[in-house]
Amino acid sequence: MHALSGREYFTLLNRMMVDNPPAPADAPYLGRLAKLGIAPGAVLDDLSSDELAALDEGARQGPETLRGLLAEAESAKDGGWAVHRGLSDYGTDFAKRAVITRFGYGADLDADAL
| Residue 38 pLDDT class (50, 70, 90 cuts) | very high
Phi/psi of residue 76, nearest 5 degrees: -85, 10
| Residue 69 pLDDT class (50, 70, 90 cuts) | confident
Other Cβ atoms closer than 10 A to 36: 17
Instruction: Give the long-range contacts of residues 39-43, CB within 8 A, separation 24 or more.
Output: 39/14, 40/14, 41/14, 41/15, 41/17, 42/14, 43/11, 43/14
Phi/psi of residue 4, nearest 5 degrees: -75, 145
Give the whole-angstrom CA distance, residue 109 versus residue 111: 5
Instruction: Work out the average pLDDT over 36-62.
Output: 90
Q: Evaluate if residue 74 carries a pLDDT over 80.
A: no
Task: Please give the model's pTM, rounded to 2 decimal places.
Answer: 0.74
Domain ranges of the chain: 6-113
Instruction: Work out the average pLDDT over 6-29.
Output: 94
- pLDDT, averaged across the chain: 86
